[in-house]
Amino acid sequence: MIENVGYLALIFSMLLAIFSASAAWYGKTNNDERWIKSARNATITIFFLLTLSSTLLIVLILQNNFEIEYVWRVSSIDMPTYLKISALWGGQAGSLLFWSWLLSLFTAAVMYGQWGKQRELIPYALIVISFTQIFFLFISLVVENPFAKLDGIPLDGNGLNPLLRHPGMIIHPPMLYLGFTGFVVPYIFAMAALMAGKLDDSWIRTTRRWTLVAWLFLSLGLILGGRWAYDVLGWGGYWGWDPVENASLIPWLSGTAFLHSVMIQERRNMFKMWNMFLVILTYLLVIYGTFLVRSGVISSVHSFAESAIGPLFFAFIAFMFIFSTYWVNKRKDMLASKDKLDSFLSREAAFLYNNFIFLAILAIVFFFTNFPIVSALFTGEQGFVGPPVYEKALSPLFLVLLLLMGIAPLTMWHRTMIKRIGLAVLWPAIVAALFAVGLYFTKIVTIWSALLGIWIISLSTVLTLFEFYKGTRARMRRDRNPFSAFAYVMAINRRRYGGYWIHLGVLVMAFGIIGIEMFQQETQIHMTVGDSVALGEYELVFQGVERYAGADDLIITEATADVYHKGKLVEVIHPQTLLYTRSGQPMTIPDVRTTFWEDFYVLLVNWEPTSASSATIRIYLNPLVNWVWAGGFIFIFGTMIAAWPDKKEKRLLKRA
């Protein structure tokens, strides 16, 4: 009975999405406000119907109703309640329903909040959002029905994929999906502006906070995904350039470029066509990223897809591409910028250079990610691009981007004198150079490429911190208390200083990335009880292995080892391997000695049950890896500041 109600809610949601598009078009064509309001109410109702459908699916999982195929696939009797709830997005059908629910949440919130502000755009926005809703609801109804039944009733289920039981992975997919669905909002208003022929910057002001919120969630998802990979996959690192990782990174890159570029349209009424291109590109990449994760078209350690839905996704992407291109071409004259770049050394130009670098990175990552598909088409075999190729191709671009991050705030609108930039950069460049030289002569860092990276990051860090100092110093002419002056500057211009915090977070992360990527040490050794191995300033002494049964048909193999730092015992660690007998899937769980400066990261690679006194151990020494996570926190903090509207923005939003 419950499953029938859940499925009926999906059917009514689909019908309401079709009605909403039709009613909005009819109401706009006939200038009948009643039909437009009805379309809006239908769209809001979809949220409640999908909330009902999603809640009922969770109830079925909690009840261990294994007659439902999805429940049987992702749950088991012994699973704890919190894992059963997270199983909603732990499989193909449930995750697609979850995607639709989040989209309906954003849509309902937008239609409720913007109803009285953008009445001219709302009918067209309703039409465009309905296209995406109809597509995902169609997949849930026809291809991936989360309420489909099995022929029999199994006694127990398969249980959730072990890789999805990590706390970070429980939160990671919702964050990514919130980012993905959130980026649909700026797209629908961009298309509505095209369809309405209202191409001023009001649609940008209306959607800026929505875009920042989507970007925040997508950023959180990427950071949590990196932490999950570090804790669970046994790579010894946080990013492996896996196709599904890249599927989330690619729209983040275009979305970041868009967030930078729209500032120029707001300030100078320029780059209208460029911004339209970026917002459409981000939307299409969001749909493509969802396809890449859910279709399994490219092999990935993150991929949990179970059906071939690729052709439907490709057809929808093609349809939305044609639809978007048609309207851009129709309004191309209105998208032409009246103003032009006054100088290639200006704030506008700096933002444009920033965009070009982001898109260059995007193009490389997109091509390398899809190389297996391309190679299969031409050679019949899937080829893969490994992390070293990514890093070699992208490192120069990332360094230029980090340098531009520090220099761009020094530029002026319209035109900047090169002498002015030179004077502003001189002392920070000297400070950064002295820091790099000090690292070299103390033999902490002797690799020239690393020293170059450290100099660039240090220069941009000093320049960014100096921006905070200048603003605070100017305010201290009225308020001598430096703390209250700093707080006032942050509050009065949240968008600007939130951006600086974001830059600072990225720079801290960059220090961490250089540390782990260029100075990571690794060793693997077969050890018996009492054996020791040294790595850096650490020594590991192996104490043995034991195997025992855990909950939910889990077999745990756990090694014990003592960790010494400079001859002093600092920690006893227990790396594990887990075997879920229900699915036969193993997992490797590292144990880590963590400090501010480095991680001593230990894995149990292999152990023969016939010998409890020996095992193969792999060890990584990861310098500055925790700076990656610390930078991520600063990054998120800055985004939250930038997303909080100041008084000036609130006035502009009221006028829109």
| Per-residue pLDDT tens over the stretch 270-280 | 788 999 999 99
| Per-residue pLDDT tens over the stretch 133-142 | 999 999 999 9
| Per-residue pLDDT tens over the stretch 375-391 | 877 777 777 888 889 99
**Pairing mode of beta strands 614-623, 521-528:** antiparallel
**Pairing mode of beta strands 532-535, 538-550:** antiparallel
Instruction: State the pLDDT at residue 656.
Output: 46
Nearest to 228 by CA among 303, 164, 162, 296: 164
Which one is predicted more confidently, 172 or 637? 637
Which one is predicted more confidently, 117 or 200? 200
| Per-residue pLDDT tens over the stretch 444-469 | 888 899 999 999 999 999 999 998 88
Instruction: State the pLDDT at residue 573.
Output: 94
Say whether 408 sits in a helix, a strand or coil: helix
Instruction: State the pLDDT at residue 451.
Output: 93
Among 155-159, 337-341, 594-598, 646-650, the range of highest mean pLDDT: 594-598
Q: Is the pLDDT of residue 161 over 80?
A: no
CA distances (Å), origin 447, targets 390, 395, 518: 20, 15, 9
Using CA atoms, how far apart are residues 220 and 633, in angstroms rounded to an integer?
9
Percentage of residues of the chain with pLDDT beyond 90? 50
Instruction: State the pLDDT at residue 516.
Output: 92
Instruction: State the pLDDT at residue 648.
Output: 54
| Per-residue pLDDT tens over the stretch 504-535 | 999 999 999 999 989 999 999 998 998 999 99
Say whether 524 sits in a helix, a strand or coil: strand
Instruction: State the pLDDT at residue 300.
Output: 52
pLDDT confidence tier of residue 654, bands split at 50, 70 and 90 = low
Instruction: State the pLDDT at residue 454.
Output: 94
Average pLDDT over residues 559-569: 93
- Give me the residues paired with residue 365 across strands: none
Question: How much is the mean pLDDT over the chain?
Answer: 87
Average pLDDT over residues 537-556: 86
Which one is predicted more confidently, 169 or 365? 365
| Burial of residue 468, with CB atoms counted within 10 A of its CB: 0-12 exposed, 13-18 middle, 19 or more buried | middle
Range from 84-93, 250-259, 373-382 carrying the lowest mean pLDDT: 373-382
Instruction: State the pLDDT at residue 38.
Output: 94
CA distances (Å), origin 421, targets 141, 350, 412, 425: 59, 12, 10, 6
Instruction: State the pLDDT at residue 297.
Output: 60
Percentage of residues of the chain with pLDDT beyond 70? 94
Q: Is the pLDDT of residue 636 over 80?
A: yes
Using CA atoms, how far apart are residues 644 and 212, in angstroms rounded to an integer?
9
Q: How many helices (H) and strands (E) does the chain have?
A: 22, 10
Show the tokens assigned to 60: 């079925």
Instruction: State the pLDDT at residue 653.
Output: 47
| Per-residue pLDDT tens over the stretch 24-61 | 999 999 988 899 999 999 999 999 999 999 999 999 99
| Per-residue pLDDT tens over the stretch 109-129 | 988 876 667 788 899 999 999
Among 86-95, 295-304, 430-439, the range of highest mean pLDDT: 430-439
The answer to whether the Cα torsion of 231, 635, 243, 95 is positive or negative is: positive
Instruction: State the pLDDT at residue 204.
Output: 87
Contact criterion met (CB below 8 Å) for 627 and 505: no
CA distances (Å), origin 487, targets 376, 482, 483: 56, 9, 6
Average pLDDT over residues 401-428: 84
| Per-residue pLDDT tens over the stretch 210-220 | 999 999 999 99
Instruction: State the pLDDT at residue 82.
Output: 86
Range from 97-111, 167-181, 509-523 carrying the lowest mean pLDDT: 167-181
Q: Is the pLDDT of residue 223 over 70?
A: yes
pLDDT confidence tier of residue 620, bands split at 50, 70 and 90 = very high
Nearest to 552 by CA among 158, 169, 228: 158
Give the torsion through C-alpha atoms of 626, 628, 632, 634, to 10 deg.
Answer: 70
Range from 55-69, 324-338, 430-444, 472-486 carrying the lowest mean pLDDT: 472-486
Instruction: State the pLDDT at residue 651.
Output: 54
